[in-house]
Amino acid sequence: MFTRARLGTAIAALTAAMLLASCGGGDETEPTSGSGEATATTLRLGYFPNFTHAPALIGVQNGIFQDHLGDVKLETTTFNAGGEAIEALFAGAIDASFIGPNPTINGFAQSGGAALRVVSGAAANGAFLVVREGIDSPEDLVGKTLATPQLGNTQDVALRFWLKEQGYETTEEGGGDVSITPMPNGDTLNAFASGAIDGGWLPEPWATRLVTEAGAHVLVDEADLWPDGQFVTTQLIISTEFLEENPLLVEQLIAGEREAIELIDSDSQEAQSVVNEAIKALTGDEINPDLLAAAWENVQFTVDPVAQSLLTGAEHAEAVGLLDPVELDGLYDLSSLNKLLEEDGEDEVSAG
């Protein structure tokens, strides 16, 4: 999440143009109208080389998305941070992306609600506060240093809000009762081993890696803090313009995602193998299979965007001063997803 920073003059110009065609409405937009005929010959999709993007990795690697899109060509771009994906969507370089909740909130807010819609979930859960030996309660954290992946990102907000609830103060500069030091996930293991940090609120597989490789233990499982034990980790967003012009393609993309999740549910080992192959092809490195298997158990892959957790997460970001008040009405358009679920006799999902 970008906190209060602007995305640049080009984005501002695009936003002004998009506001002329912005959609109003409640928490969920009305079903997309139109004949359903695709106007696009290409769908440009973004995603991350991270196993919490497993539905995307499998959908691309196994050709599932392309099969569902038929003659429409799938073009893909990978990103390492949500901000990059939002910038690409604002610039018209991609039509859709798998992404985390906080960059989604920022993109929606920066465009005045005009630029994007959440059309499906992808993954839920899989974040923990892991700490070194001797830290067994919130009281033991005073004076300690904890890592998060990025200032204002989903885990950063979760940690700051949780500490606030414990009565502790934090600052963006790393001061306060508990020091928070944002750093890339890949740096946390060495930082923990060297004593530079005492733990971190981290997503998988990094939390499990600190536990299995460096002797950390779990102090807080974030799932325990949410109703029904669920919070959104990854979701699918679509450019509003693309959604309005190509509702059938969006439906086909979601159908492909559902097929990828069906593989995850039916054959976890095969799904992990495909995901690791895809990550290695994209980054040159694979995740240790044992580490991946352990972390995999902590993530739920689902088309449900767990919308209420995003809305509550935005309130948490406001509470810790990392987000200005934002109106999120109209963020979700789950009409295509719910149409597919209804056709299969499954329960519809809520926009919160």
Domain CATH for 185: 3.40.190.10
Q: Quick one: pLDDT band at residue 89, thresholds 50, 70, 90? A: very high
Q: Is a pLDDT exceeding 60 seen at residue 193?
A: yes
Say if residue 199 is in the same domain as residue 136: yes
In a domain, 351, yes or no: no
Average pLDDT over residues 255-261: 98
Say if residue 223 is in the same domain as residue 238: no
Q: What is the pLDDT of residue 39?
A: 81
Say if residue 244 is in the same domain as residue 337: yes
Say if residue 252 is in the same domain as residue 306: yes
Say if residue 31 is in the same domain as residue 106: yes
For every residue of 100-116, DSSP letters joined together read: -HHHHHHHHHHTTT-SE
Q: What is the pLDDT of residue 7?
A: 41
Q: Quick one: pLDDT band at residue 278, thresholds 50, 70, 90? A: very high
Q: Quick one: pLDDT band at residue 182, thresholds 50, 70, 90? A: very high
Give the separation between CA 75 and CA 88, rounded to whole angstroms: 13
Say if residue 192 is in the same domain as residue 308: no
Please write the tens of the pLDDT for every residue from 52-63: 999 999 999 999
List the structure tokens of 208. Answer: 């499990």
Sign of the CA dihedral 311, 116, 58, 303? positive
In a domain, 1, yes or no: no
Beta strands at 116-124 and 232-239: parallel, antiparallel or unpaired: antiparallel
In a domain, 291, yes or no: yes
Say if residue 304 is in the same domain as residue 332: yes
List the structure tokens of 162. Answer: 């949780």
Cis preceding linkage at 247, omega within 30: no
Q: Is a pLDDT exceeding 90 seen at residue 31?
A: no
Domain housing 292? 9-124+230-343
Give the separation between CA 148 and CA 156, rounded to whole angstroms: 5
Give the separation between CA 239 and CA 32, rounded to whole angstroms: 13
| Residue 243 exposed, middle or buried by CB count within 10 Å (0-12, 13-18, 19+) | buried
Beta strands at 232-239 and 96-99: parallel, antiparallel or unpaired: antiparallel
Give the separation between CA 254 and CA 338, rounded to whole angstroms: 10
Q: Quick one: pLDDT band at residue 25, thresholds 50, 70, 90? A: very low
Say if residue 120 is in the same domain as residue 258: yes
In a domain, 349, yes or no: no
Domain boundary among 228, 248, 269: 228
Q: Quick one: pLDDT band at residue 18, thresholds 50, 70, 90? A: very low
Q: Is a pLDDT exceeding 60 seen at residue 190?
A: yes
In a domain, 2, yes or no: no
Average pLDDT over residues 74-79: 96
Give the separation between CA 50 and CA 283, rounded to whole angstroms: 10
Q: What is the pLDDT of residue 150?
A: 87
> Between the CA atoms of 164, 169, 171 and 175, what dihedral angle is there, to the nearest 10 degrees?
-140
Q: Give the H/E segment covering residue 332.
A: none
Say if residue 15 is in the same domain as residue 151: no
Q: Is a pLDDT exceeding 80 seen at residue 17?
A: no
Instruction: Look up residue 41 and give its DSSP letter.
Output: S
Q: Is a pLDDT exceeding 50 seen at residue 1?
A: no
Average pLDDT over residues 224-245: 95
Q: Quick one: pLDDT band at residue 33, thresholds 50, 70, 90? A: very low
Instruction: Look up residue 141 and give its DSSP letter.
Output: G
Give the separation between CA 295 and CA 202, rounded to whole angstroms: 12
Q: Quick one: pLDDT band at residue 152, thresholds 50, 70, 90? A: confident
Domain boundary among 182, 209, 228: 228
In a domain, 310, yes or no: yes
Q: Quick one: pLDDT band at residue 36, thresholds 50, 70, 90? A: low
Average pLDDT over residues 62-72: 97
- Which residues are registered as beta bridge partners of 47? 78
Q: What is the pLDDT of residue 288?
A: 94
Say if residue 103 is in the same domain as residue 247: yes
More confident residue, 326 or 337: 337
Domain count, the chain: 2
Please write the tens of the pLDDT for every residue from 215-228: 999 999 999 999 88
pTM of the model as a whole:
0.85
Domain boundary among 228, 257, 274: 228
Give the separation between CA 135 and CA 254, rounded to whole angstroms: 43
Q: Which of 130, 141, 150 is nearest to 178 (CA)?
A: 141
In a domain, 92, yes or no: yes
List the structure tokens of 139. Answer: 């009281």
In a domain, 331, yes or no: yes
Percent of the chain residues topping a pLDDT of 90: 82
Please write the tens of the pLDDT for every residue from 122-132: 999 999 999 99
Q: What is the pLDDT of residue 37?
A: 63
Q: Is a pLDDT exceeding 70 seen at residue 15?
A: no
The stretches of the chain forming alpha helices (DSSP H) are: 9-19, 54-61, 64-69, 82-90, 101-110, 154-165, 188-194, 206-214, 240-245, 247-266, 268-283, 289-296, 307-319, 335-343
Q: What is the pLDDT of residue 8?
A: 44
Say if residue 280 is in the same domain as residue 311: yes
Give the separation between CA 78 and CA 44, rounded to whole angstroms: 11
Say if residue 68 is in the same domain as residue 106: yes
Q: Is a pLDDT exceeding 80 seen at residue 19?
A: no
